[in-house]
Chains A and B, each alone.
Chain A
Amino acid sequence: MEARIRARVNLALTFFALLFFVAGSSPPRQFVISNAERRIDLSSHIINVHLTLKVENAGTRPASEVVLALTPTEVDHLAMVDASAIKGKRKKTTSLRLEVKPTELPDAPPIDTKYFTIYLANPLNSGESTTLEVLYVFTHFLEPFPAEIAQSESQLVFYHDTALILSPYHIKQQTTFIKTPSTKVESFIRMEPTNRVGTEIKYGPYEDRPPYSISPIHVHFENNSPFAVVEELVQEIEISHWGNIQVTEHYKLIHAGARHKGVFSRVDYQSRQSSNGASSFRYVRIVYLLARLPPRVHSVYYRGEIGNISSSHLRTDSLKSELQIEPRYPLFGGWKATFVIGYGLPLQDFLFESSDDKRYLNFTFGCPLIGMVVDKLTIKVVLPEGSTDPSPVVPFPVEHHLEAKYSSLDVVGRTVVVLEKKNFVPMHNSHFQVYYSFKPIFMLAESLMLASAFFMLFVACVAYIHIDLSVRK
């Protein structure tokens, strides 16, 4: 509730600030947006906003930097922003990914607005126009209201936004579509023309809106998908040059939807589950999780802090492996569960030699559980003992540092490359590489150590038998 008020106050403040500064500001006014279409998908707790902008250079000089504006609340919940330029007509469109960077506008009017700059591949000449497609992904943006629900109640959530697209540019025409997961919408704020058909609410089209104009709206609707959020995921990838990669993943899972209130009744839970089929009644809870693992995975385990959890199934084929796991208990709103998944992978699938005599690990940066928001993702790549100068290559910005780890029979410790990413969504899934140098002779170190230890033991035995230590004969 408090968060909602704060969000509203923020919005309102922004709104007033905008009104004040609208006249006096001087943003890069070179562009005019001739047409903007926004599609907001609210079907799960990961919100995808597709923004299609037709940008026209109304200035005199060629320009290549298009600025996007977001409210601070939006920026707080923004998981990723991605832009691409659309080339071609109708069916033969090709998209080209563009670079997006957060920027500060020195002469920007409202205090709180945050900006992202899209760098166009080719500067746009005066009078020319181009189509940009922007994808925003927001997490933790839907606010359950009521914040606490009983076992059999459905989950209602608020979505706050503005009917008009916040932009430093003049928008000639704009439309917003909001897609809700079901037809059950409690309430929404109208701003004519507003139209609701089925699961879609259409705001607009609105003509000729000046820069920074907004109009707060909210949608209060039913969203019964469980808000499965991994608060923290630590993934440890341990490379052994003897042929195995061992992956261990520590999850802290929470159902971040409306909190469960009052009684949990097993009778109700079991009877509704069995008699009425799956679709007719659904509790808002997490029962199954599906993890997509690489093919040829072996020795998979699924444990909790206090021992094995026996409810899991593994299906493997040549392309992928799917691990279906079930937490110890169904997760209702606000309930938590921690667990560990571990598996082994064949080394040759992931470790390669690069041209400059280095080796590199090529692995997926991401959470194997499907459809998860990960608040904090830490990937630890444990390199074999004796490897030197590691360097990670990740397609998006991450924090990284080095650690040391002592595993079995380690003397100097293994180098660990730690990569950290906050607010991770499935759209981030991509490959990353860690390059390092390694001399094969180090592979023999541990086996030689063991062999010599046994040798010493036997020598000691032989010596003990043959040496007579008694003083008297």
Chain B
Amino acid sequence: MSNSYTSDILKPFKLKTKQQELLIRVSILCLVYILAFITRLFSVLRYESMIHEFDPYFNYRTTLYLTQHGFYDFWNWFDYESWYPLGRIVGGTLYPGLMVTAALIYRLLHFLRFAVHIREVCVLTAPFFASNTTLVAYFFGKEIWDSGAGLVAAILIAVCPGYISRSVAGSYDNEGVAIFALLFTFYLFVKAVNTGSLAWGLASAFGYFYMVSAWGGYVFIINLIPLYVLVLLITGRYSMRLYVAYNCLYILGMLLAMQIRFVGFQHVQSGEHMAAMGVFFLMQVFYFLDWVKHMLSDTKLFQEFLRITVTCAVAVGGIALGVGMASGYISPWTGRFYSLLDPTYAKDHIPIIASVSEHQPTAWSSFMFDFHILLFLFPAGLYFCFKRLSDATIFIVMYGLTSMYFAGVMVRLILVATPAVCLISAIAVSATVKNLTVLLRSKTKVAQIGSTKGTSSAKASSKASLDQSQPFQKNGAMALLFGAFYLLSRYATHCTWVTSEAYSSPSIVLAARGAHGNRVIFDDYREAYFWLRQNTPLDAKVMSWWDYGYQITAMGNRTVIVDNNTWNNTHIATVGRAMSSYEDEAYEIIRSLDVDYVLVVFGGVTGYSSDDINKFLWMVRIGGGVFPVIKEPDYLVNGEYRVDKGAAPKMLNCLMYKLSYYRFGEMMTEYGKPPGYDRARGVEIGNKDIKLEHLEEAFTTSNWIVRIYKVKPPNNRW
């Protein structure tokens, strides 16, 4: 009696299978959304809510300016504090997408009466967008394969180290929002191609606009999509849907992108964007031909017409390109673009690009580190994609293959490849697991096999084989399923481990293990920057190697000579030249640059290896690239770089050496080693008696990591 009563009550709450499936799907997505966010919070828990590394400090500083002064002031901001004496037109030389996004979130939160600091918003922007990316990955996966693949893709991308490396909390960089924008644009475009709907095309144009406003990597989109369209055209998959999607994206996207000052008219003027334009015209030719074909009934006549039009079109296009290049209207490809196509180009021609560690070619180990099992699932996924070719799978295959190539060229582009790798791997996982479970389940219902519809060939073939060898199949499928889950769980542990160990260090604060296993914090960078901020004149000019420029302006609030925006090679070379000259020569350069303080980073006491002495050869190379007085062999002994007694005389007396090792010879760094033992390089230094004539020590941090010198005024002549 009571039993039936309760069941009556519960009846409306009982879910149908479809509703259950929806509920599970939505809850999985919610969990993945949260997981993607919290797995990126390691850095906040280990350290604190702070901005990481180098470039994010510039982004943070500009965001702060944006929230304090409003958009128009930000857009017209001339920054006197960087690139002294040149300055920087900030509004015209940055991608504002990230800052505007963070400022909008900040405004929204304040409108909803949440009193948060802009720094917290900046710190959490990247994890928030990573969460959003998982949603996009789900929808993308659903679009190209099925909702199962979408779910797997969302899970894989939520924890994939390749993406986490650039989106942990505090890593407030363009890539944080750009990967979201990239994937979103691709998704909308694929959706537009699949549906042929103008609305989706429009949405993809806006997605592209957001991407352009956020990151220079938009060039990848504007080259990949034309390539994809070209492949579709060649494989005879031209359709009205494609025509609508591409034209809408190209025309609107181009017009919108021109609103970003930093991009300007590059879409019509730069060589990197010409492929998109060429494909655009090709589309028109195709459309025209289609129309003519429709009008002409005679195929022979049409073939003739086709030949003439294609030849004319190609000829006109070639001539236009040639004239454009020759007249200088179309700019040639930039060095960065060349170095992507030819990995050795930067090393020979642009040392400043080659000097950045994240521009180095990728090692196999870092592929393994960042992708783990995805590296093996990727080819499997490609196999599944080829088995079920459609417009969407062709797109993801092309995206995967091109981005994998670029990931091999440059370490940092692993990031771009990650979504594609995750999606393709998700297809592999989803398809495999689905096939296996179908095997397992259909075995119990042998009688019903005939009734289930074999939509995909994979299913059909599995069923066909099922009937032949049932006992093995069942066990095999079970084993494989367990194997797959084991692999996936290994992937999850690996990702968590990598995130917590490798990618959650802010690199401003260094942590090490002390003698008793306790955690030692080296907070020297902030100590030095804060000292600059509090105890130097407001208009003091600080010279340092360009790596630290953004940090000095953001945290020290002082003018710098060069910073991480490496647009002026000569200026950087001048600083490199000053660092690698003798002190009196350097003093002339320093005086001419109107420098008040010189800042060097030195790891000899703590054993911190990425200091200025280890970067010094790049200063020599970059300086020597512009000023041939500086010659790299002068600093080497038999091609070997050393700082001990056997070092080259020029090395022992150049400014960088003197500033790094000034009075270091009196210092005992390690028990049982002579004074002046450099722990970063493991040698006793060669010049312990360093006298400074034109500079004086102004501040050295407690672990000697940052040393600041004051430039003395010139002596009186009498």
Contact = CB atoms under 8 A, between A and B. Distances in A.
A411 B531 contact: no
B666 A336 contact: no
Contacts of A263: 696-698
A308 interface: yes
B529 to A, nearest CB: 7
24 contacts: A264-B698, A266-B700, A267-B666, A271-B666, A304-B530, A307-B50, A307-B508, A307-B509, A310-B523, A328-B523, A328-B526, A329-B527, A329-B530, A329-B702, A334-B535, A336-B534, A336-B535, A337-B534, A406-B113, A406-B115, A408-B114, A409-B113, A410-B113, A411-B113
A335 B533 CA distance: 11
Contacts of A328: 523, 526-527, 530-531
A247 interface: no
Contacts of A408: 113-115
A310 B667 CA distance: 25
A309 B115 contact: no
Contacts of B663: 265, 267
B704 interface: yes
Interface residues on B, range: 20 to 34
Contact of B534 (A335, A407, A409): A335
Given A307-B48, A406-B115, A264 B700 contact: yes
B619 to A, nearest CB: 24
Contacts of B533: 305-306
Interface in B508-534: 508-509, 521, 523, 526-527, 529-531, 533-534
Nearest to B48: A308
B537 to A, nearest CB: 12
A239 B526 CA distance: 33
B228 interface: no
Interface string B650-668: 0000000000000100110
Contacts of B526: 304, 306-307, 328
A126 to B, nearest CB: 61
B126 to A, nearest CB: 18
B197 to A, nearest CB: 15
A193 interface: no
A275 to B, nearest CB: 11
Contacts of B704: 266
Contacts of B535: 334-336
A338 interface: yes
A262 B666 contact: no
B699 interface: yes
Contacts of B508: 307
A337 B533 CA distance: 9
A364 B521 CA distance: 35
Given A262-B696, A328-B531, A267 B667 contact: yes
Nearest to A327: B530
Interface string A272-302: 0000000000000000000000000000000
Contacts of B534: 335-338
B589 interface: no
Interface in B288-308: none
Contacts of A329: 527, 530-531, 699, 701-702
A409 B114 CA distance: 6
Nearest to A336: B534
B555 interface: yes
B604 to A, nearest CB: 12
A292 to B, nearest CB: 25
A305 B530 contact: yes
B122 to A, nearest CB: 13
Nearest to A254: B534
Interface residues on A, range: 20 to 34
Given A306-B530, A337-B534, A411-B113, A265 B697 contact: yes
A262 B535 CA distance: 13
Interface string B662-689: 0100110000000000000000000000
Nearest to B664: A267
Given A304-B526, A410-B113, 13 more contacts: A265-B700, A266-B700, A266-B701, A307-B508, A307-B526, A308-B48, A328-B531, A329-B699, A335-B531, A336-B534, A337-B530, A337-B534, A409-B113
Contacts of A267: 663, 666-667
B697 A407 contact: no
A240 to B, nearest CB: 13
Interface string A380-415: 000000000000000000000000001111110000
Nearest to A265: B697
Interface string A308-333: 11100000000000000000110000
B104 to A, nearest CB: 19
A336 B113 CA distance: 35
Contacts of A407: 115
B523 A309 contact: yes
Contacts of B698: 263-264
A310 B530 contact: no
Interface in B376-397: none
Interface in A242-281: 262-267, 271
The 4 closest A-B pairs by CB, nearest first: A266-B700, A336-B534, A328-B527, A306-B555
Contacts of B700: 264-266
B246 to A, nearest CB: 29
A410 B521 CA distance: 38
B521 A310 contact: yes
A452 B35 CA distance: 27
Interface centre among B509, B526, B667, B698 (most CB of A within 10 A): B526
A304 B114 CA distance: 23
A307 B526 CA distance: 8
B111 to A, nearest CB: 11
A329 B535 CA distance: 11
A41 B444 CA distance: 98
A410 B508 CA distance: 36
B697 A264 contact: yes
Nearest to A264: B699
Interface string B690-718: 00000011111110100000000000000
Interface in B42-67: 48, 50
Interface in B2-35: none
A407 B115 CA distance: 6
Contacts of A262: 696
Nearest to B525: A306
Interface in B315-345: none
Contacts of B48: 307-308
Nearest to B699: A264
Nearest to B692: A263
Nearest to A407: B115
A409 B109 CA distance: 10
B533 to A, nearest CB: 7
A304 B531 CA distance: 11
Nearest to A449: B113
Interface centre among B527, B533, B534 (most CB of A within 10 A): B534
Contacts of B702: 266, 329
A21 to B, nearest CB: 47
A411 B509 CA distance: 39
Contacts of A335: 531, 534-535
Contacts of A265: 663, 697, 700
B272 to A, nearest CB: 38
A464 B509 CA distance: 48
A51 B699 CA distance: 45
Contacts of A307: 48, 50, 508-509, 526
Nearest to B109: A408
B118 to A, nearest CB: 13
A337 B696 CA distance: 22
Interface in A335-381: 335-338
A220 B555 CA distance: 41
A251 B531 CA distance: 16
Contacts of A338: 534
A198 to B, nearest CB: 38
Nearest to B506: A307
